[in-house]
Structure 1
Amino acid sequence: MSPLKSRAPGGPPARRADLSRLAAYRARRDPGATPEPFDAGAPSAGALRYSMQNHDATRLHWDLRLERDGVLLSWAVTRGPSLDPAEKRLAVRTEDHPIPYLTFEGVIPRGQYGAGTVMLWDLGHWRPLDDAGRGLAKGHLRFQLYGRRLTGLWDLVRIRGRPSEKRENWLLVKAEDDAARRPDPVARHRVSVSTGRSLDQIAAGDGPVPSGPASPLKLPDPVEPMLASLVDSPPEGEGWLHEVKIDGYRGMVHLGKGGPVIRTRNGLDWTARFAALVPALAELPARSALIDGEIVAGAGAQGFSALQQAITDGGPFGYIAFDLLDLDGRSLRNRPLTERRAALERLLADAPPLGLVQLSVALPGKGADAMAAVCAAGGEGIVSKRADAVYRSGRADSWRKAKCERRTAFAVIGWTRSDSPGRPFGALLLASAEGQGWRYRGRVGTGFSAQAQAELAARMAPLTRGTAPAQVPRAQSRGVTWIEPALMAEIRYAEPTADGILRHASFQGLREDKMPPLPPSSPAPVIRIAPGGQGGRVIEGIAVTSPDRVIFPGCGVTKGDLAAYYAAAAPLMLAHCADRPLALLRLPEGLAGERFFQKHAGRGFPAQMRTTPIPGEDEPAIYVNTAAGLVAGAQMGVVEYHIRGIRRDRADRPDRLVFDLDPDEGLDFSQVRAAAIDLRDRLADLGLPTWPMLTGGKGIHVVADLRRTVGWDTVKLFARAFAHLLAAEQPGRYVAVMSKARREGRIFIDWLRNDAQATAVSAFSCRAREGATVAMPLSWDALDRTDGANAYDIRTALQAAPGIAPDRRRPVSLEPAARALAGG
């Protein structure tokens, strides 16, 4: 049993399941008779996961699941969890369960082991405070929970039973902390944490119940955040609130119709990147709101490096809220901070203490005292805010930040060789933009994990240049490989020397949310790959070689044009393709050369194009979640990006339904457009809202966004039945089989896109067709005004997009539509 690269904070590397540990589970269940999962599943990529299920079997009880070594340790808690430390709840140890059982919800049929209704009551992560193996062996497991409903410190204590007793009895006890002695969670939470259904509704097969306010208002408009001015010491005097400085990414949370939406300080929509936070944010009781705060690593992990790892792993995250700009359609920006903070505290009053969403810590009194307390506790510093200050975008003197130790992002301009085997480099050389150029700020040679070094080496390799971007002393230049200043590194340091060199510098992580500022007089970076080689351009930190090579001869679009398009399209395109398994259509020599599809990464794949394991598949899938990832694909000849109908965190649960309307050659586009509207109306009658996408060729995709409540079998069956029903009703218009001979004069409703392995072209992907056309998502009104499926190309798509964007409503469950189709 070999360890994987995934690991849990504070714990050993995650391991795949020893399948013998699931023997008892499988021996008690018939896979043909119960919907319970039988696959072992994959261990977590990051923190260990936890769930609790409400199980209405012979007796109502709650099942505690804790992930460890590739299985779920399981206990049946007879009366459910209590937040009163004086209450000790009996927890009977049961057989280990497979990882996919974490999110199981449904009905176990009569006659089967554990027959009854199962509700997913809570979901999140857990962290053992001591070695879990030793704790289990000695009969005392102490751990922290980071769930949507249960949080804080807990103890599982084994009861010494009689030798004749076969079952292993434990006690589940809440420890004293801020989450203790709160209202009874069993009485308070009576519906599923994932579908909003009660036990009776699950038993009846009802569809998911929408969450959030009944009548949400429109999302608040984006606002440029207010920024603090850096000072050497905190302000003196009264009238200030001193908040603990948070080490994360700034996150503006928009709540309302179509939300939550999470934007960075630069206005980029990173909701998909921080999707693990969305359910907790959606539970906040506001019809609309705009919250300012910081996104941090979750599940007990600390620091910026931990946050970067969480982004790589897809979570876990936490959100620390510190300001409220809008609430229920009313702006609070001109109200004093004390009023805004009081309103924010009321909004978060129901959120679990120590949970995923928390209110920032504000210390009253003197700034110097607050600073001393935070620094003594190992904090980064404080942000002092005038209590009567209104919220004004941009940097302001009414917000001041003072650091216990200095941290700043610097551009990486070169690296030195390492004398240690296995280390790809020894130190990084740093610079900051200053005046008309770059100023050298010294080296950093500590703070790197092996994984960070490998990623940095891969990202620096294509940025090589022949000369130093900054003036560097000769003694510091020997043996340095220079690179374009295209990467930003967060550096912790004690202080600068008199000539600006950093003392005691330590690497904290790359800042993907920041790009190096371009000095005012600097041209766009151009690099030389090698003496006598071809020129290149740096786009999103990626060295694009041979940018002038023509990919589309008929319209003159070059490789550099395509890479620049994908960089510009990323904010729109990633909303459709981020964190999805991809299939790449590569044309290394352009339209005239060889073309091939690729689903799995090969040797030399760029680090920005990442891989993720998919349960049941032998090789990991490719995915991207950054603009750099899309550009890196273009650099290696990718023209088209095709997506699967899943996100990588739940490969068994599709979140989209696609019908590809593929017309016979002789049909006019107006007939395809009319067919799309016909499908829209028929699907709307079944309760499925849809949006159209021009394929960039000759067809249209009709897409429905789904809640992840059913598996592929249900989605594929619905798609097949719907397509064949339309073909049977209108045989002169539609066909539901792929045969070219039977398609003459008709439109093929391609329902085969709805399969676990199938892909469909991503919205905003360029197409490998003459003209560099683009797969373009539209509103239905815009489709009425469109004359061709190839109406947009990489030069027109982004300019047109804001005015023709589809109305993508909240995803809906397929189950009611499937029942309606079957009943019809």
Structure 2
Amino acid sequence: MDKLDDYLERRDFDRTPEPFEAGRSSNLAPRYAIQKHDATRTHFDLRLEWDGVLLSWAITKGPSFDTSEKRLAVRTEDHPLSYIGFEGTIPEDNYGAGTVMLWDLGYWEPLDPVDKGLKKGHLHLRLHGARLTGDWNLVLMKGKEKRENWLLIKGDDEAAGARDPVRRYRRSISTNRTMRQIASEKKPVPLHEGKRPRFAKPQLATLSDEMPDGDGWWHEMKFDGYRALIALGEDGPRVFTRNGKDWTDRFESLAPAFAQVDCDSALIDGEIVAGAGLDGFSNLQKAIKNGGPFRFYAFDLLDRDGTDLTGKPLTDRRAALEDIWHDMPAEGPAQLSPVIEENAAEVFDRVCDAGGEGLIAKRMADTYRHSRTKSWLKVKCRRRDEFVVIGWQESDKRGRAYSSLALGAHDGDDLVYVGKVGTGFDADDMDELSDAMRPLERKTAPAEVPRAEARGVHWITPKLVAEIDYAERTADGMLRHAVYQGLRDDKPARTVRLDNDRMTEDDRTPVAGVEISSGDRKVYPDAGVTKLDVARFYETMADRILETAADRPLSLVRLPEGLGGDRFFQKHAGKGFPDGLKTVEIEESDGGTEPYMYVTDAAGLVAAAQMGTLELHIWGSRRDRLDRPDRMVFDLDPDEGLDFSDVRAAAFEVRDALSDLGFASWPLLTGGKGIHVIVSLRRTAGWDTVKLYARIFAQLMATRAPDRYTAEMSKKKRKGRVFIDYLRNERGATAIAPFSLRAHPGAPVAVPVGWDELKDIESARAFDLESAQERDWSAVDLPAPVGVTEKRVDKLEAALSQEAD
């Protein structure tokens, strides 16, 4: 008999929204959930993932943190794994009819063998939920009843004795809705109501060989995980890496853990490690692949409810952090990093003996700085750093893909060899590394390697970054007792440098391999956006920007000192520009040539940001066929007295008129005042033909509605009208690139949108630096390119003549 037969037989899936598919296992740690169920009698359903199903018990009064309480838990039919996230209403006249709330969610840890415990009638387990945590016991009651009656009893630990969770938690852990709101099918309710803070560069600790002590310092554990900043606000939590990458999707299962943080908004600094009893960096890598489990340790608070706390001393920031943490469950998946008040040297020895990472020493009176400082010092038990994989050593053992990896790191402009690592791999690591290295194989070594060390090594292009634990580096720079910990993709290989955790004299920050100087300069003072924020924005948005901007001549709008300083519109690369900004010689109208800029990758975009660029303006053709445009742009530029609604209406009329002529189009919010209506073109016509067509079309629109449109640039002619600027469609003319920042207050971004979506947008500046990062091209139905032909020009010219008559 299949374990789910009882579940399936009781339900008519044409009449109930409950899931009928079996679902899939998380593979790393078994999941756990509790669902509050308003059936004939309100109860709480405990679900424990095991052996391909959810073991289920109905807890009549719900769980209690009181160790003296023995709550009845009636064993029910096994449920499919897909049921673990179910929330909704089971209609009347169905089995279990009533409203179901997802009340708690997380993972569980068997403390004794499960199959043996089920037969014996005693399950000893540890819960790692957002609400229920710590040790619990399920004990089978002896009796003659057909149903299995168990007792759920809280173990005596740090979580014991907390407030009654049934009364304390009355909203869904996933949607924050009450039972009544779920029954009414209301939308999810925001957990936090304030504006979510932007990412801010974290403060970094400097490596030290000595443990500072004294009244002015305190100490915390050095965790074995990923540094993360958690931003909380009305749009839900976001998880950022130390380099500003948005990894919310990778740590999605951690989101419910922040439901009880007492704030409207916050930016919390901390570390994510593997959770549910799993330890070590390699387990964290596996957890990321499997969607969990995770644990977050919070150790600093940068912003609370819109107030910047970075200028406060550490003691004040910690007090504020503890204040918003007061309602969080003990031993939960989101915890405070403990402050160590004992003798630091003694604690350090115990940490190292237990196989820990080390300690972080923090100066209590210092403010938070967005750079590497000596206010925070890290003392490691062993060394742990990132290195670039440059090749693999052949293995003579059957079933082993390689015996070791060759490693390197950047020292100045050079990639240098630092030795090999041959331990720490399991079978999964072997498969993952083999798959990752195979496409990167090359014939020559990317670094200078001694002949004896190079024998039998297969070289690869240096793109993979590995976390390596090691005892020390020898006098000749080689790693001793190196142990592989896992691959990491939060850092580009170009940024991996020797002694990369020591302070640099000019404190430059690498982004996409480009060193960003003066990164803390606020270029959008009103929005608090720095030069480094701009560089990271262009790195994050590179794939979306390059969709249209790659390999086109482009011009830069540079404001090296920010919005309050001088502004330059630059077409040609200047002396000292970074290599990422490539150049192509283009003939000018006078017969001479000039070096025009173009970009092909994220490094080029970030290089532009390093030169103070805010805006990117692109040609309508690519450099392989400069004489053949592949886009036609109509810039709808409104008179100052018009509202955005007038521009929006104009965009729809332009769209319809183009459609009647056989041209599909898409809209771009410019981030300024207007909208660009853009047509994708086949590269069959030259600039003169495309410009002529665009001019006649603009004149046609102005002729049809002279009170609303003009095709003339004159300010006098534009009074009360929308200027349909067709002049973007000539050789050398540029238009703002999709997803480019604009040099206006608030850091607005030019964003492509869908026509249906445009109906509800209220401003051409609807997206700023933060919200634009959540967008991609999926909202836009990009039409197939269409050719502009002489026949089309003649037909349009005839239509204009007819309208004029």
Q: Which category describes the TM-score, using the shorter chain as reference length?
A: 0.5 to 0.7
The correspondence of residues 80-99 of structure 1 with structure 2, limited to 5 A, is 80-99=62-81
Sort the Cα spacing of 1:785 and 1:23 in 2 relative to 1 into closer, same or farther, 3 A.
Answer: farther
Amino acid at match of 2:36: N
Is 1:799 the counterpart of 2:776 in the alignment?
no
Which residue, 51, 57, 60 being the options, matches 1:78? 60
Is 1:263 the counterpart of 2:245 in the alignment?
no
Q: Could you tell me which residue of structure 2 aligns to residue 563 of structure 1?
A: none
Amino acid at match of 2:116: R
Alignment partners' CA distance in 2, 1:149 and 1:770: 58
The correspondence of residues 544-583 of structure 1 with structure 2, limited to 5 A, is 571-572=540-541
Which residue, 349, 353, 356 being the options, matches 1:372? 349
Amino acid at match of 2:189: P
Is 1:312 the counterpart of 2:294 in the alignment?
no
Which residue, 205, 215, 220 being the options, matches 2:197? 220
Amino acid at match of 1:266: N
Q: Could you tell me which residue of structure 2 aligns to residue 396 of structure 1?
A: 373
Between 1:239-248 and 1:114-123, the stretch displaced more is 114-123
For the 8 Å contact 1:437–1:519, the answer to whether it is kept is: no
For the 8 Å contact 1:211–1:282, the answer to whether it is kept is: no
Amino acid at match of 1:337: L
Sort the Cα spacing of 1:423 and 1:187 in 2 relative to 1 into closer, same or farther, 3 A.
Answer: same
Alignment partners' CA distance in 2, 1:570 and 1:91: 53
Which residue, 301, 305, 326 being the options, matches 1:324? 301
Q: Could you tell me which residue of structure 2 aligns to residue 240 of structure 1?
A: 217
> Unaligned stretches of 5+ in structure 2?
498-510, 514-535, 548-600, 604-631, 638-643, 667-677, 685-721, 743-747, 752-765, 775-805
Q: Could you tell me which residue of structure 2 aligns to residue 408 of structure 1?
A: 385
Sort the Cα spacing of 1:268 and 1:794 in 2 relative to 1 into closer, same or farther, 3 A.
Answer: farther
Q: Could you tell me which residue of structure 2 aligns to residue 193 of structure 1?
A: 173
For the 8 Å contact 2:636–2:725, the answer to whether it is kept is: no
Q: Could you tell me which residue of structure 2 aligns to residue 146 of structure 1?
A: 128
Is 1:51 the counterpart of 2:50 in the alignment?
no
Shift of 1:324: 0.9
Shift of 1:314: 2.5
Amino acid at match of 2:155: A
Shift of 1:809: 11
DSSP 3-state at the match of 1:341: helix
Q: Could you tell me which residue of structure 1 aligns to residue 187 of structure 2?
A: 208
Shift of 1:573: 7.7
Shift of 1:137: 2.0
Sort the Cα spacing of 1:282 and 1:442 in 2 relative to 1 into closer, same or farther, 3 A.
Answer: same
Shift of 1:221: 4.0
Between 1:32-41 and 1:340-349, the stretch displaced more is 32-41
DSSP 3-state at the match of 1:797: coil
Shift of 1:160: 2.1
Shift of 1:24: 0.8
- Residue correspondences, number: 575
The correspondence of residues 656-675 of structure 1 with structure 2, limited to 5 A, is none
Is 1:116 the counterpart of 2:85 in the alignment?
no
DSSP 3-state at the match of 1:384: strand
Alignment partners' CA distance in 2, 1:770 and 1:429: 48
For the 8 Å contact 1:280–1:356, the answer to whether it is kept is: yes
Sort the Cα spacing of 1:267 and 1:195 in 2 relative to 1 into closer, same or farther, 3 A.
Answer: closer
Shift of 1:540: 8.6
Q: Could you tell me which residue of structure 1 aligns to residue 20 of structure 2?
A: 38
* CA deviations over 1:327-365 (Å, ceiling 9, x no partner): 122222122111111110111111111212111022014
* CA deviations over 1:626-645 (Å, ceiling 9, x no partner): xxx999xxxxxxxxxxxxxx
Q: Could you tell me which residue of structure 2 aligns to residue 179 of structure 1?
A: 159
Alignment partners' CA distance in 2, 1:417 and 1:404: 32
Alignment partners' CA distance in 1, 2:496 and 2:101: 57
For the 8 Å contact 2:190–2:234, the answer to whether it is kept is: no
DSSP 3-state at the match of 1:92: strand
Alignment partners' CA distance in 2, 1:378 and 1:258: 39
Alignment partners' CA distance in 2, 1:787 and 1:271: 41
Alignment partners' CA distance in 1, 2:725 and 2:31: 50
Between 1:175-184 and 1:328-337, the stretch displaced more is 328-337
Shift of 1:415: 0.8
* CA deviations over 1:624-680 (Å, ceiling 9, x no partner): xxxxx999xxxxxxxxxxxxxxxxxxxxxxxxxxxxxxxxxxxx999999xxxxxx9
Shift of 1:240: 1.2
Amino acid at match of 1:210: V
The correspondence of residues 497-646 of structure 1 with structure 2, limited to 5 A, is 497-517=474-494, 571-572=540-541
Shift of 1:417: 0.9
DSSP 3-state at the match of 2:300: strand
Alignment partners' CA distance in 1, 2:294 and 2:723: 43
The correspondence of residues 13-24 of structure 1 with structure 2, limited to 5 A, is 20-24=2-6
TM-score (norm 1): 0.63
Shift of 1:292: 1.0
Sort the Cα spacing of 1:794 and 1:384 in 2 relative to 1 into closer, same or farther, 3 A.
Answer: farther
Alignment partners' CA distance in 2, 1:371 and 1:570: 39
Identity %: 49
* CA deviations over 1:258-294 (Å, ceiling 9, x no partner): 3433222112222233222334335422222221111
Shift of 1:130: 2.8
CA RMSD of aligned residues (A): 4.2
Amino acid at match of 1:102: I
For the 8 Å contact 2:75–2:150, the answer to whether it is kept is: yes
Alignment partners' CA distance in 2, 1:169 and 1:671: 72
Sort the Cα spacing of 1:469 and 1:318 in 2 relative to 1 into closer, same or farther, 3 A.
Answer: same
For the 8 Å contact 2:540–2:773, the answer to whether it is kept is: no
> Unaligned stretches of 5+ in structure 1?
1-18, 521-538, 542-566, 577-583, 585-628, 632-667, 674-679, 682-690, 701-732, 735-742, 751-765, 773-783, 812-824
Q: Could you tell me which residue of structure 1 aligns to residue 528 of structure 2?
A: none
Shift of 1:505: 1.0
Sort the Cα spacing of 1:32 and 1:219 in 2 relative to 1 into closer, same or farther, 3 A.
Answer: closer
Q: Could you tell me which residue of structure 1 aligns to residue 49 of structure 2?
A: 67
* CA deviations over 1:752-810 (Å, ceiling 9, x no partner): xxxxxxxxxxxxxx9997579xxxxxxxxxxx99989x999999334358522454699
Shift of 1:248: 1.3
Sort the Cα spacing of 1:230 and 1:786 in 2 relative to 1 into closer, same or farther, 3 A.
Answer: farther
* CA deviations over 1:693-749 (Å, ceiling 9, x no partner): x99xx999xxxxxxxxxxxxxxxxxxxxxxxxxxxxxxxx99xxxxxxxx9899999
DSSP 3-state at the match of 2:463: coil
